[in-house]
Structure 1
């Protein structure tokens, strides 16, 4: 994968902490920062998926009533011909 340069400004204490943590992990500061960003992005994605699943579970009955299906059959997409037109 091609790399690009990203310049950031942080206070000296933050820079020292990043260097120390990278050293403890046995990686470069670049790799340490990259891992932090990737981890953060993954957590955000996971949080979204969990929230979406929780939403669907909470509103399962509403969707079932709207599309005329029982909750246990909801995982698949609603069939085209049976869908009601939008108001």
Structure 2
């Protein structure tokens, strides 16, 4: 498969953030950036994320009502020590 090259200029602060995330992922900056671009071009991934966002928007209130949430967003524990 033929490869195409993309050159992107970013501010130093943006680069520092990318560099930090790449290091945390155990990747070189170029490899990390290549993966980000590939992920954004992935239609199946995009559809999944849109569907997940839609689901969360539609059902968030119902989950909150049923399970509640503490200040950290976690469901409260039952008396048995198990989550609701």
TM-score range, shorter chain: 0.3 to 0.5
TM-score by structure 2 length? 0.46
Greater Rg over alpha carbons, structure: 1
